[in-house]
Structure 1
Amino acid sequence: MATALKNQNESGNENSSEEHEEDAVLVDRFPEAVRVSRFTFFSVCVLSLAFVLFSSMPLWHTDIWGHLAYGRLIWEMGSIPEFAPLMPLSSGMSFIDTAWLSQISAFKMYEIAGVAGIKFLYAAAITACMALLLYRVQQRTGSFIWSMVCISAFLLCDWKQLGIVRPQLAGLLCFVTLFFLLTARNWRKANWVLIPLLFVFWANLHGSFPVGLGLIGCFLVGRAIDVSWKMRNWKAMLGDSKTRRYLILLELSAIAVLFNPYGLQLYSEVFSFSSNPNLADLIEWNPLTLRMYQGKAAGLITLLLVIASRFTPRRISTAEVLLLVGLGISALWSSRMIIWWAPVAAYYLAIHGAAICRWKLKRLADPGAEKVFCAGKWTIVSVGVIWICFAVTPMGSVMLHGKEVDFERSVSESTPIGAVKYLKEKQIQGQVFNSMELGDYLLWAGPENLDVFANSHAHLLPREVWNHYLRISNLAGDAEELLDRYGINTIVLDLPRREGLMKRLVKDGVWRVGYKDGRSVVLLRNKPIQ
């Protein structure tokens, strides 16, 4: 009896063992090349949710519409205009379009999928930046937690900049990609082609490519200083292969930039752009201060970096110092430059934070620090998460369900949709005065023969015209005289920001309200100028 039970138990154990072996065989049969780890699954979840978040954000009412209008014009003309188009008051001004490829790409995407297409490009660019930072930190630290710290710090610092859809996001993706390639542990021969090719695209997508050249320059100078200091001989850097590599790479990248419609002229345009006096009157080009949200975020990250540099067991390279200090100073000079400092600061904060934890705690309880097991089940679940998250985005609704996206819900509350409809119904033409912030949407969706006074491309306006815009907006003593001088019969203002200006104009009896909602107001002259 006992022998029979023993045999039965052994038989049961053998069957159980065979079942486990069969399960293992089933798992093993899943293609090894496409198996992913638990870390990858968690990363996919985070990035997919981020993609959904940014896809659901309303399109801001300024830059994107102006760039779409320029993209439409370039596509229809088949060439880039030599002089500033679209705004008659800018006629005769030289037009160097540093973002023509972004503008055309966005316009064609809009033609295909409407606002859903623009939202897709917007969310994809930011999510790709997050993915590159997350992967590089995880590779260098083996920690999922510190990878999350990196992308969280990046989003915290750049949140205001990331909220505006414009070609600068394409430049940011190029910048993060370059930083990703330069911070790899091992140099790959393919980088000799990939990095110059990246600059070819960058120079045509956005005029921020000098930041990328500066990034390579910091690695070059930093490496040269480190080698010279270590060998106690400045000539040692001449024999260092890594220093020579950065130098050749910088030269190749600088040459690759020349593959653009303007050739060498693009350099002079980009370097002179920031000195345009009109930009000094725009808030986003003002110096970074602690009164700004992004100033507070940058201050917090800087404080954490200082603490981390005090306790980190890692060697702090000269290139790291040059990058953080150089980009930090540029951000203090102009708050818009914070967009380049944030990913670099977030990366080094995570790297040093992970090193401190390993040093102090010896073994950090982190799922990413465990042995990585890849399994087919994580691949299947990851694909499912990506599919579900894509399906709930506007682009997913268009492609998978054939649903039209509600335009009004897809744009910001400040978009002058009602005002534009009114202008079209009344067939208003000729020169109007408008808030600069509304100019981009007026160029894109306004009546065909409507002449916009100003838009976000303030640098295209002659200095005198820009000064007149500011005087009218601030209702200076000669504001009415200037409105008469330009033959303005229609004024389009954003509300509630310009409500004070609207009330003062209407109070004088020269103007009346033709249309008004919570977003904008259209004022009409009681006795139109003929």
Structure 2
Amino acid sequence: MATALKNQNESTNENSPEELEEDAVLVDRFPEAVRVSRFTFFSVCVLSLAFVLFSSMPLWHTDIWGHLAYGRLIWETGSIPDFAPFMPLASGMSFIDTAWLSQITAFKMFDIAGVAGIKFLYAAAITACMTLLLYRVQQRTGSFFWSMLCVAGFLLCDWKQLGIVRPQLAGLLCFVTLFFCMTSRAWKKANWVLIPLLFVFWANLHGSFPVGLGLIGCFLVGRAVDVSWKARNWKAMLGDSGTRRYLILLEVSAIAVLLNPYGLQLYSEVFSFSSNPNLADLIEWNPLTLRMYQGKTAALIALLLVIASRFTPRRISTTEVLLLVGLGVSAMWSSRMIIWWAPVAAYYLAIHGAAICRWKLKRLADPSGDKVFCAGKWTIVSIGMVWICFAITPMGSFMLHGKLVDFKRSVSEYTPIGAVEYLKEKQIQGQLFNSMELGDYLLWAGPENLNIFANSHVHLLPREVWNHYLRISNRAGDTEELLDRYGVNTIVLDLPRRESLMKSLTKEGVWRVGYKDGRSVVLLRADPIK
């Protein structure tokens, strides 16, 4: 009887060759290190689609073309000019190029891949910021929903700033990368090399590196205050290893900034830049108000942060308060500073939101207990998603098929393409008056000997020249006198924004329309000044 049962068990445990083959197929043979979860796949889908979205957006007509012109000049001459180039009216003005590395990089990408190269850099910078924020929030909360909410808050609040392609995006990527390193649960030894190296690049990519030094300073002061408060003794900060670490990191980073073509002079330039009186006349340098889209969005996020701070079970650190208040006040002083506040505010809102939900739903505060299933199939579909989305972007089309995108369809509708073609056809040279917003494209694509009046680098213009520009643009009583003074025979204006100025100038017959389309107009003096 026992022998019969033994034989029966042995026959039951033996599998046929077909069954063994089926089991082998079902075994996940992917190395565990490269397996990802379905939540990672969903994150990859969102980031890939975001990359496609930003790659398909038309290039705004300001800033980028002027920076490409600077990059072309630096590359061709092999040196950074000491005085303001391109604008004769700014001749002799000292020029410190805080974005020379961004300009060269963008120019070479344009030289290789055309507009597709610029779109790639633009989309890659924003998508990289989204990736870092998403990963850090998901790591801290274990929640895909709150990770997406953080990214959404960042994009909504910074949407106006992100729409303009300029070196500031490189500075934003450096800022988010630094914030990513500083908010890690445990300090990594590699940060001693990575963060100073980051500041070396940052100081040559864009002049916003003081914001990064301020970020480290907030962590330093916040840590010192928290340690002293907990110990009820202010001297406790002196013996705290974390406080000393942040202090040394701040010093090393400040020294790393000096690895630039200007040395200490770069500090003087970036700290005095915002005090340039010409910038006060630009909308983006005005204080943040509720009439602005980004002002409304920032107010909503700030309100949600206040509510979250009231109900969150998490401890609110001094560092968090310093960052939110400090960057928030700077944004209220100048709306352009909202670009730094948005990622920090979105991050802390997601962190506290997730904590409140876990507390109210009686779930564990530590997401590490949640089991995440990883599989090779999610790795395959994630790679496939990235490949498909990259292939349909302009850069993917260029690399895979050698196909250049249509230039006119890749830039904003306000780009004065027709006006520039007209200027080239008529071989118009000499000093002209132009809308500041069109100056960058005129620099990049206009006739070689064309002298523009102003471009987005308004800080390089003498105060008197900039005041004259504003008087002419606002149709002051001495407009014709000023145009005669500068010997202007050609005027290029953006439409429909400057349509009233165009009508005012052509009313007396002194100026006639040489070219006009829906984007811009070229006015010619009826009796040119010799």
Same fold at TM > 0.5: yes
Matching residue's letter, 2:411: V
- Give 1:17 deviation, angstroms: 6.3
For the pair 1:353 / 2:357, whether they are aligned, the reply is: no
Cα separation, 2, equivalents of 1:130 and 1:467? 40
The 5 A counterparts of 1:266-305 are: 266-305=266-305
Q: Which residue does the alignment assign to 1:200?
A: 200
For the pair 1:373 / 2:373, whether they are aligned, the reply is: yes
- The answer to whether the 8 Å contact 1:279/1:458 transfers is yes
The 5 A counterparts of 1:72-87 are: 72-87=72-87
Q: Which residue does the alignment assign to 2:229?
A: 229
- The answer to whether the 8 Å contact 2:443/2:452 transfers is yes
Cα separation, 1, equivalents of 2:361 and 2:380? 35
Other structure's SS at 1:59 match: coil
Cα separation, 2, equivalents of 1:446 and 1:56? 25
Cα deviations by residue, 1:378-405 (Å, 9 ceiling, x for unpaired): 1110010000000110001111122120
- The answer to whether the 8 Å contact 2:171/2:208 transfers is yes
The 5 A counterparts of 1:15-54 are: 18=20, 21-25=23-27, 27=28, 29-54=29-54
Distance 1:369 1:301, change over 3 A: farther
- Give 1:15 deviation, angstroms: 7.3
Cα deviations by residue, 1:468-493 (Å, 9 ceiling, x for unpaired): 00000011011100000000000000
Q: Which residue does the alignment assign to 1:496?
A: 496
Cα separation, 2, equivalents of 1:256 and 1:472? 45
Distance 1:509 1:116, change over 3 A: same
Matching residue's letter, 1:23: V
For the pair 1:162 / 2:162, whether they are aligned, the reply is: yes
Q: Which residue does the alignment assign to 2:457?
A: 457
TM-score (norm 2): 0.96
- Give 1:31 deviation, angstroms: 2.3
Distance 1:482 1:316, change over 3 A: same
Matching residue's letter, 1:336: R
- Give 1:369 deviation, angstroms: 8.1
- The answer to whether the 8 Å contact 2:52/2:393 transfers is yes
- The answer to whether the 8 Å contact 1:435/1:494 transfers is yes
- Give 1:363 deviation, angstroms: 3.5
Cα deviations by residue, 1:137-179 (Å, 9 ceiling, x for unpaired): 0000011110001000000100000000000000000000000
Matching residue's letter, 2:108: K
Cα deviations by residue, 1:281-300 (Å, 9 ceiling, x for unpaired): 00000000000000000000
Q: Which residue does the alignment assign to 1:174?
A: 174
- The answer to whether the 8 Å contact 1:62/1:440 transfers is yes
Cα separation, 1, equivalents of 2:479 and 2:346? 47
- Give 1:375 deviation, angstroms: 1.1
Q: Which residue does the alignment assign to 1:394?
A: 394
Matching residue's letter, 1:256: A
- The answer to whether the 8 Å contact 1:143/1:369 transfers is no
- The answer to whether the 8 Å contact 1:39/1:368 transfers is no
- Give 1:101 deviation, angstroms: 0.2
Moved more, 12-21 or 73-82: 12-21
- The answer to whether the 8 Å contact 1:143/1:368 transfers is no
Cα separation, 2, equivalents of 1:203 and 1:492? 35
Q: Which residue does the alignment assign to 1:327?
A: 327
Cα separation, 1, equivalents of 2:491 and 2:369? 62
- The answer to whether the 8 Å contact 1:511/1:526 transfers is yes
Q: Which residue does the alignment assign to 1:65?
A: 65
Cα separation, 2, equivalents of 1:93 and 1:454? 14
Matching residue's letter, 1:98: T
Matching residue's letter, 2:58: P
Cα deviations by residue, 1:26-85 (Å, 9 ceiling, x for unpaired): x1x222222111121111100000000000000000000000000000111100001000
Q: Which structure 2 residue ranges, 5 or more long, are not aligned?
A: none
Other structure's SS at 1:432 match: strand
Q: Which residue does the alignment assign to 2:252?
A: 252
Distance 1:286 1:368, change over 3 A: farther
For this pair of structures, how many residues does the alignment match? 522
- Give 1:12 deviation, angstroms: 10
For the pair 1:132 / 2:132, whether they are aligned, the reply is: yes
Matching residue's letter, 1:317: S
Q: Which residue does the alignment assign to 1:90?
A: 90
Cα separation, 2, equivalents of 1:304 and 1:360? 17
Matching residue's letter, 2:24: E
- Give 1:87 deviation, angstroms: 0.7
Cα separation, 1, equivalents of 2:38 and 2:374? 7
- The answer to whether the 8 Å contact 2:496/2:519 transfers is yes
Matching residue's letter, 1:472: I
Q: Which residue does the alignment assign to 1:184?
A: 184
The 5 A counterparts of 1:474-513 are: 474-513=474-513
Distance 1:233 1:346, change over 3 A: same
- Give 1:303 deviation, angstroms: 0.5
- Give 1:362 deviation, angstroms: 1.9
- Give 1:13 deviation, angstroms: 8.0
- The answer to whether the 8 Å contact 1:145/1:368 transfers is no
Cα separation, 2, equivalents of 1:238 and 1:495? 62
Cα separation, 2, equivalents of 1:16 and 1:237? 69
Any runs of at least 4 consecutive aligned residues in structure 1 with deviations exceeding 4 A, and if so which? 9-17, 367-370
Cα separation, 2, equivalents of 1:20 and 1:304? 53
Other structure's SS at 2:289 match: coil
Other structure's SS at 1:433 match: strand
- Give 1:374 deviation, angstroms: 1.6
The 5 A counterparts of 1:113-124 are: 113-124=113-124
Matching residue's letter, 1:216: I
Cα separation, 2, equivalents of 1:217 and 1:363? 35
- The answer to whether the 8 Å contact 2:331/2:337 transfers is yes
Other structure's SS at 1:415 match: coil
Cα separation, 2, equivalents of 1:522 and 1:95? 30
- The answer to whether the 8 Å contact 2:113/2:404 transfers is no
Cα deviations by residue, 1:259-292 (Å, 9 ceiling, x for unpaired): 0000000000000000000000000000000000
Cα separation, 2, equivalents of 1:18 and 1:108? 57
- Give 1:368 deviation, angstroms: 10
- The answer to whether the 8 Å contact 1:103/1:167 transfers is yes
Cα separation, 2, equivalents of 1:77 and 1:431? 24
- The answer to whether the 8 Å contact 2:74/2:81 transfers is yes
Distance 1:383 1:359, change over 3 A: same
Cα separation, 2, equivalents of 1:51 and 1:301? 25
Cα separation, 2, equivalents of 1:114 and 1:222? 46
Cα separation, 1, equivalents of 2:21 and 2:298? 56
- The answer to whether the 8 Å contact 2:284/2:335 transfers is yes
Q: Which structure 1 residue ranges, 5 or more long, are not aligned?
A: none
Cα separation, 1, equivalents of 2:369 and 2:208? 37
Q: Which residue does the alignment assign to 1:341?
A: 341
- Give 1:21 deviation, angstroms: 3.3
Matching residue's letter, 2:261: P
Other structure's SS at 1:493 match: strand
